[in-house]
Structure 1
Amino acid sequence: MATTAVDAPAAPPATHMTSRQRLVLTLLLGSQFMLAVDFSILNVALPDIGKGLGFSLANLQWISTAMMLPSAGFTLLFGRLADLAGRRRMLLIGMGLLAAGSLVGGIATSPGMLLGARVAQGLASALATPAALSLLTTSLPEGPLRDKALGLNGTLISAGFTIGAIFGGILTDLLSWRWAFFINVPVAAAILLAAPAVIPESRGERTKLDIPGAIAVTGGLLTLVYGVTEAGQHGWSDPVALATIAAGVLLLGAFWLIELKAKAPLAPVRVLTRQTVKWGNFGGLITFTMESSVIFLLTLYLQEVFGYTPLQTGLAFCGIGVAAFAGGLAAPRLIGRFGNRTVLGAGLLLQAVATGALFLVGNGGGGSLALMLAASSAGAFGHISAIVGYMVTATSGLPDGEQGLATGLTSMTQQVGITMGIPVLSSIATARMNATGSTLDGIHTALLVDAAIVLAGSALAYTGLRRR
């Protein structure tokens, strides 16, 4: 008598990591945290660096931009290369370059030498960030464990920016700005030594690299970010800035056309047009662009209105760091209960409301400081929730062979957002300051614009994902 085969019920998703998975996660999160710290650790030390190496006041911004430009421009390309050449290999190359660049930066004796070190750090970030993130997503199955790991990743990224400001102030006041570079070297060396024995190599299918697409997208991102940075410094009517932005848009348009026809595209259009990839990264771009601007505006507020020192400013952000940590722990549980679409939309909504509340901050006094700390902490909680929501959304439903592309896109979103937000909002604040002669008026106007953009982004991301 014939018997009918019955499929066994699917095994429930794992809820606990193995000891090896924890060790892998520790190394990967450590690399992500260190790279995040590097983006902000020098900000409060810029005046000291300028005096020590002879930077003019107008050129100080290039200490930050020199790292941000290559990081934003090359992340997508290097993320795809990680799929092809090996993710662990790209992570190790990135860590080696970071150690070398940090050492050179710490012993720099001229502006050119320091800027070269910052470029190396930016390329290291573009190499290591998507590689580490794709190793994380391929090391854990899609579901609660991966969501938890992405929550910790988002927490450490945001905390890294905050802690970087604190470390920068402490190191500059107590030792020297050079230690902001030197501190990377032993950490990168530890990862270089431990990773080959702990993290297995991982790659996607072998295929040819789409050279025209790589040139178009890298050139487009570099010119677009450079143009926005120049516009933030020289004004949005500056012809060089406008021409550069236009060139960047044209190159990105050419990239899209190339990908439509390429036999082995760098970023297949079917992936780019997935609702989860498209709207997830849109939400990520909004939250990173606007939150980095809030931190900048609050720094300006504390130092120009309250008269805080760099160290006091960094310590004032401790509440933001605590709220970000709490948001990173809570977001995976919220995603498990309500879904990533809801968490992404609600996180952006909370960030918008909290940023709008900062408009009520006055010229000084304990009440203004308390309101600023409470609102900025609530915004940080929403920001981290949105980060975890967008990372889970934008990397879910894709095979392991495309995780380098997916994480390259999320990393690119992060880097572009961090780079572009401050020039845009600072130009708005500066224009208002020049019109009214009031620093506080400029900050208030920029904060209202920030809140309106995040509110619109929340509605668009939420409704866009609903159309899946």
Structure 2
Amino acid sequence: MIVLDITVMNVALPRIQTDLHFSPTGLSWVMNSYSVVFGGLLLLGGRAGDLFGRRALFIAGAALFTAASLAGGLAPTAGWLLAARVVQGIGGAMAAPNTLALLTTSFPDPKARMRVLAWFSGMSSAGFAIGLIVGGLLTEWLSWRSVLFINVPFGLVVVVLAVLNLPAAQREPAHLDLPGAVTATTGVATLAYGFISAASHGWGDPVTDITLAIGAGLLAAFLVIESRTAQPLLPLRLFTDRNRAAAYTNIFLVPMAGMSMFFFLTQFLQDVLGLSALATGFAFLPTAVLMFTMIRLIPRLLPRFGPQPVTMTGAVAMTAGLILLTTLTAHSGYFPVLFAAMLLLGCGIGLSVSPLNVIIMSNVEPHEAGAAGGALQTLQQTGASLGLAILVTVFGTAARDAGGTAQHALVGGMTVAFAVAAGIAALAFVVALTFRTRQR
């Protein structure tokens, strides 16, 4: 529900703009207000769950997210909707990292833990593709408000089932690292804002440069604070394990490359192929199906082959899919190139991402599960924001240089962006080589 909300709004944006009279630049903040707050608070939400109780943070976050979804669906003005999206981001940041921590600590058996973490990873990855399908269906059949209202019944069920079934989690006798919390939250949020500004205004824009410099400085200060704090917000020893460090690196790189598919292909399907919002959503069905298939396979593949060959195969499939997208032209249809690329990317993202959650969370200390989950999701969110900013800038430059008709320029910019994304996916393959081979 939380990950789906990142993409489900995309298809509804044109109708939101018409109904609530957003300006073209203001409309982007329907997405960005959620992303900045969600990304900025993930580390704090994870560590707060470790200290104050993951069950309580999870239930409160899910309830807040649900209430904000209802308020957003009822929004009479643009400002109301943006405020609701900010509150959604706060609720999401409370619930998401504690979801991972609760799964990790509730399943002590390694096989069961691997299975549930693979399910979690597959569900969150597929949420990006499913969001486009659900957004297309609801926007076409009902209205844009329904993409927010749909969270309400699911959110209520989640809260009720959590109250009835989740055991009370043990609280750690510790204090919250407030200097770390302030520098981490403001640093990640500032970086996210800088990446969004880069995507909108380019890397040479003064606001972009200043914001990114401030964000980088705050994160550097955060790392210094964490290295000197007895009870840090993010224990740096989480990165000393080689496999976990490589998994953290790839959880940053894979969304950098993968987000380009959802962002640019949505435009290609609607602006070049002329598909409706509903048809655009269903065009991503092969990707979603392959991701769900990988959910079923990962618990069998990972114990048998180990993380290295599984993640390497995923990175190769993802790279191949992105390379295939570089062959698109203004006259390309959905079959065969686009369909084949969708299959490869669904397989690649599923195999590349699903093992990473298992690797990161499987042997983490229980009292640090929230921090580990918060770091995982922060890197994932930051990687997606940075990747989109880089690729949108590449797209804009290439589209201007392509010349010709508007469609020719659009597709020309996209293919160059896909080539850069393929390079990032290839880098994820290189990182996958550093995983330890399976020990018999």
Q: Same fold (TM over 0.5)?
A: yes
Q: Which residue of 2 aligns with 1:424?
A: 390
The alpha-carbon deviation at position 365 of structure 1 amounts to 4.6
Name the amino acid aligned to 1:329. Answer: R
**1: CA distance, partners of 2:323 / 2:171:** 44
Query: In the alignment, is residue 305 of structure 1 matched against residue 276 of structure 2?
Result: no
TM alignment of 1:54-69, pairs within 5 A = 54-69=21-36
TM alignment of 1:26-41, pairs within 5 A = 34-41=1-8
TM alignment of 1:8-157, pairs within 5 A = 34-141=1-108, 143-157=110-124
Query: In the alignment, is residue 237 of structure 1 matched against residue 204 of structure 2?
Result: yes
Q: What is the percentage of aligned positions where both structures have the same residue?
A: 35
Query: In the alignment, is residue 406 of structure 1 matched against residue 372 of structure 2?
Result: yes
Name the amino acid aligned to 1:408. Answer: G
Q: Which residue of 1 aligns with 2:360?
A: 394
Give the TM-score normalised by the residue count of structure 2. 0.95
Of the structure 1 ranges 312-321 and 195-204, higher mean CA displacement relative to structure 2 is found in 195-204
| Structure 2 unpaired stretches of 5+ | 404-408
Q: Is the contact between residue 361 and residue 369 of structure 1 (CA under 8 Å) also seen in structure 2? A: no
SS in structure 1 of the partner of residue 3 of structure 2 = helix
1:178-225 superposed Cα distances (whole Å, 9 cap, x missing partner): 111111111111121221221102245321111111111111101111
Q: Is the contact between residue 256 and residue 421 of structure 2 (CA under 8 Å) also seen in structure 1? A: no
The alpha-carbon deviation at position 142 of structure 1 amounts to 5.2
Of the structure 1 ranges 237-246 and 324-333, higher mean CA displacement relative to structure 2 is found in 324-333
2:231 aligned to 248, 260, 264, which one? 264
Query: In the alignment, is residue 186 of structure 1 matched against residue 157 of structure 2?
Result: no
TM alignment of 1:270-419, pairs within 5 A = 270-366=237-333, 369-419=335-385
The alpha-carbon deviation at position 344 of structure 1 amounts to 2.2
2:131 aligned to 164, 186, 192, which one? 164
Name the amino acid aligned to 2:11. Answer: V
The alpha-carbon deviation at position 125 of structure 1 amounts to 1.1
Of the structure 1 ranges 326-335 and 110-119, higher mean CA displacement relative to structure 2 is found in 326-335
Structure having the higher Rg: 1
**2: CA distance, partners of 1:181 / 1:426:** 27
1:176 aligned to 143, 149, 168, which one? 143
CA RMSD, Structure 1 to Structure 2 (Å):
1.7
Q: Report the number of matched residues.
A: 434
| Structure 1 unpaired stretches of 5+ | 1-33
Structure 1 pair 80–276 and aligned structure 2 pair: CA distance change class (3 A): farther
**2: CA distance, partners of 1:344 / 1:232:** 29
The alpha-carbon deviation at position 273 of structure 1 amounts to 3.3
Q: Is the contact between residue 246 and residue 434 of structure 2 (CA under 8 Å) also seen in structure 1? A: no
Which of structure 1's runs of 4+ aligned residues deviate more than 4 A? none
SS in structure 2 of the partner of residue 360 of structure 1 = coil
Q: Is the contact between residue 96 and residue 189 of structure 1 (CA under 8 Å) also seen in structure 2? A: yes
Q: Which residue of 2 aligns with 1:23?
A: none
**2: CA distance, partners of 1:382 / 1:334:** 14
Q: Is the contact between residue 46 and residue 60 of structure 1 (CA under 8 Å) also seen in structure 2? A: yes
**1: CA distance, partners of 2:241 / 2:28:** 37
Q: Which residue of 2 aligns with 1:14?
A: none
Give the TM-score normalised by the residue count of structure 1. 0.89
Q: Is the contact between residue 324 and residue 377 of structure 1 (CA under 8 Å) also seen in structure 2? A: no
Name the amino acid aligned to 2:428. Answer: G
The alpha-carbon deviation at position 419 of structure 1 amounts to 2.9
Of the structure 1 ranges 340-349 and 453-462, higher mean CA displacement relative to structure 2 is found in 340-349
Q: Which residue of 1 aligns with 2:406?
A: none
The alpha-carbon deviation at position 75 of structure 1 amounts to 0.4
Q: Is the contact between residue 329 and residue 412 of structure 2 (CA under 8 Å) also seen in structure 1? A: no
